[in-house]
Structure 1
Amino acid sequence: MEFWRRRRERLRERGPSGLSLLPWLLMGLGALSHLLGGEAPNPWIGGLGLLAFNTLYIAVVLRAFDPRARETPLTRWLLGGLAALTFGLAIGYGREWLLLFPLLGLAVGAVVRRGRMLFRVTFPLVAGAGAVTFWRDGWDSFGVVYGTFVSVMVTAAILALNDTVRQLRETREELARTAVEKERLRFSRDLHDLLGHTLSVVVVKSEAARRLAPHDLDAALAQVADIESVGRQALTEIREAVTGYREGSLAAELDRARDALSSAGVEPVVRRSGPLLEPAAEALFGWVVRESVTNAVRHSGASRCVVEISGTDGRARLTVTDDGRGGGHGPGAAAPVADGPGSGLRGLRERLAAAGGTLEAGPVPGGGFRVVAELPVEPAAPGTDAGDAQPDRC
């Protein structure tokens, strides 16, 4: 039972095939009966014509369900040959042979499924079928004309709808894959930025506690308390990053940067001016501050680090500069931070580029390392704390 259920699901997802139109060939049994009854003139010509009609019909409908084959000139030529043969047999034999017109309508609807071309083909076909059937069978053949029109339009509508459903399903699957890839990239960036900064602070404070313990136990315990606080804050941020609701606070990030730099023996200087920033811009700048300060603490050997935030009504600028060894570029410098895909400075560039911004990083002539981030921004709503407009030294 499970096998047949899965098979039905696969067939439903795949949609109809050319085999679904083949049983309609039974409508040609009337023409075959007319031949076998000895009533048709030139039965050999009629038999070959009926065989050719069935062959062309099968070829056309099978090619109509292959997207690549349906658009080729060969399929159009086969359809044109089927139409010419249908009109020839209907004109020559009439009666039961007129039922070949609805079969031609099925083939036309399967090949020409939508657009202006469908109407350009359908109305001449129906008009021609009406003229032939009225000439051969009078008003009694109105049902054949109506059946031809319905065959074209219903077949085209059903198959066009099936194509649309299939395309929507493929689009949905592609969007789902894209969403998963973006979420993986977001998580890898957040995890790198969160853990890289937090572990750097823990290492610095642990070293400070080890140095202070023999001489000043109270100060060492204060550093241990800070480590506990940093760990708890990191747990909270990781939970928020996992759930996708983390929004960085630039003010909080600047406070953590001051603390991390001071614990590492680096003098922090923060200058902030210009208009208030919207939350999205503050969150992005918060990531830049976190990564830049982490690199300064771990690799630069700097004695001073300056964080400057400025801008106009249309663009904001963040600059982080240290006076260390050029981010690992100078002689004897520590190895620079990894800049692989989804982490470090490359991850920051991707974040800012997605928001229309830029990020540049490199050594400063004369020594040191500088990170410059710019973002197009709109002023934040009044009432938001823009921070200190004057230098803030700790």
Structure 2
Amino acid sequence: MFRKDRGGCRMRDAEGLGPPPTGFALLPWLLMGLGALSHLLQGETPNPWIGGIGLLLFNSLYVFIAFRAFDRNTREARSTRFALVLLGLLTVGLAAGYGGNWLLFFPLLGLATGALVRGRGLGFTGLGLSALAGVVGGARDGWGAVDIAYGTFLSTMVTAAILSLSEAVRELRATREELARAAVEKERLRFSRDLHDLLGHTLSVIVVKAEAARRLAHRDLGAALGQVSDIESVGRQALTEIREAVTGYREGSLTLELDRARDLLSAAGIDAVVRQAGPPLDPQAAALLGWVVRESATNVVRHSRAARCEIEVTGAAGQTRLVITDDGCGAGPGAAGSGLQGLAERLAAAGGSLTSGPAPHSGFRVTAVLPGTPMADSDGGDRPGHDAAASRPPSGRS
């Protein structure tokens, strides 16, 4: 079978399984009772009114059970179980009273039982029902009861096995589709976070450098042109990073992000102090901490109105800590809550943590901690003990 997806393309309907089975799948087996109906119509059955009423009740109960057997809630309802018990009593009564073709109602009872019963009790139920069919059949039909008992057991177990397998396959299919949807949502979330981090930082750099170029244009054209050149470089780099984010191959570099953060803060007129100590980091830790540096530096420029920002990375065996502190108004990184929240989720998934809040004396502080053993960084490693400071330009902060 085929169905259309949301984009209008045709695709197979879940591995070609088609719609789930319903009670109609069990109705053709009622033809096994045609022999009893034929004897009843030909007047070969004593007390035909009793037989006719019994046949009508049997078919009604069987149809009722068949259409309630394919839904777990209705299958396990008391009314359905009670109907199965009534069907069993009616089958015993009709088979014991008339024998012959009426004994075929036992395999039909096995079909109904197999459609309802699941789990460990199925085997005992099937054996017990077969034994009952054998006893009643033996009393009415001698050794022919062996076929009735075997047919009853076979119909019970095969029906239960087929329906259980069908349900298991459909549950697995539904689980796989749910996992696929979750994977799509996860990728959408990754992409939205990457775009937020990339564009937020890049646009902030462009705005800051454009303001610097405007301030310098009337008194230092060369410096202004240098800022414009930086804007061009930042724009080209942003295009590359966005393409990498779309393909999912972008990895952050802590060293590169520290350099960019220093440049951004300096261009905004904020004293930037960057300290690193300890061995180089593994690529995953460097990438995660690089995102934290990028987001936090962008937020300092946007929201803090700070004069100084310190970024400190310290690594030791088993743990790496990144602390970013500014002396602004205290609303710095916290003003971009969605960005820091997304980063906190990323670090938590890697076994780390990210906290943010007011600094002890003034300003705002972001602290990121990652477990793991430091090792060579993918970009060649961060220099331990590196300490750099960029002073504000004479014109003051933007």
**TM-score of the pair, normalised by structure 1:** 0.89
User: What is the SS of the residue equivalent to 1:295?
Assistant: helix
Match of 1:332 in 2: none
Structure 1 residue 42, shift from structure 2 partner: 2.5
C-alpha change, 1:2 and 1:271, in structure 2 (3 Å) is: closer
Q: Mark the runs of 5 or more structure 2 residues left unpaired by the alignment.
A: 4-9, 391-398
In the aligned structure 2, how far is the partner of 1:32 from the partner of 1:115?
A: 35
Q: 1:59 aligns with which of 64, 73, 78?
A: 64
Q: Deviations over 1:237-276 (max 9, x none)?
A: 1111112222111111111111112222222212222344
Matched, 1:35 2:40: yes
In the aligned structure 2, how far is the partner of 1:360 from the partner of 1:382?
A: 24
Q: 2:347 aligns with which of 343, 349, 352?
A: 352
Q: Deviations over 1:276-308 (max 9, x none)?
A: 433222211111101111111222232321111
User: What is the SS of the residue equivalent to 1:294?
Assistant: helix
User: What is the SS of the residue equivalent to 1:225?
Assistant: helix
In the aligned structure 2, how far is the partner of 1:187 from the partner of 1:357?
A: 21
Match of 2:356 in 1: 361
Match of 2:290 in 1: 286
User: What is the SS of the residue equivalent to 2:309?
Assistant: strand
C-alpha change, 1:379 and 1:365, in structure 2 (3 Å) is: closer
Q: Deviations over 1:193-231 (max 9, x none)?
A: 111111111111112222222333332222222111111
Match of 1:86 in 2: 91
Q: 2:384 aligns with which of 369, 382, 388?
A: 388
Match of 2:24 in 1: 19
Structure 1 residue 12, shift from structure 2 partner: 5.1
Q: Mark the runs of 5 or more structure 1 residues left unpaired by the alignment.
A: 329-334
User: What is the SS of the residue equivalent to 1:307?
Assistant: strand
In the aligned structure 1, how far is the partner of 2:383 from the partner of 2:250?
A: 21
Q: How many residues align?
A: 381
Residues 113-124 of structure 1 mapped to structure 2, 5 A cutoff: 114-124=118-128
Structure 1 residue 357, shift from structure 2 partner: 2.5
Structure 1 residue 43, shift from structure 2 partner: 2.4
- Indicate if the aligned counterparts of 2:347 and 2:353 stay in contact, CA closer than 8 A: yes
Which residue type is aligned with residue 104 of structure 1? L
Match of 1:331 in 2: none
User: What is the SS of the residue equivalent to 1:318?
Assistant: strand
In the aligned structure 2, how far is the partner of 1:121 from the partner of 1:381?
A: 65
Match of 2:154 in 1: 150
Q: Deviations over 1:297-352 (max 9, x none)?
A: 22223232111112433332110011222236xxxxxx97342xxx3222222222
In the aligned structure 2, how far is the partner of 1:29 from the partner of 1:277?
A: 80
Q: Deviations over 1:70-125 (max 9, x none)?
A: 0112211111111121122112211111111111111011111x321211211111
Match of 1:376 in 2: 371
C-alpha change, 1:119 and 1:2, in structure 2 (3 Å) is: closer
Matched, 1:100 2:100: no
In the aligned structure 2, how far is the partner of 1:35 from the partner of 1:143?
A: 23
Q: How much is the aligned-residue C-alpha RMSD, in angstroms?
A: 2.6
Structure 1 residue 137, shift from structure 2 partner: 1.8
Match of 2:264 in 1: 260
Name segments (4+ residues, structure 1) moved above 4 Å.
Answer: 8-12, 381-384
C-alpha change, 1:9 and 1:179, in structure 2 (3 Å) is: closer
Larger mean CA deviation between 374-383 and 249-258 belongs to: 374-383
Match of 1:209 in 2: 213
Match of 1:189 in 2: 193
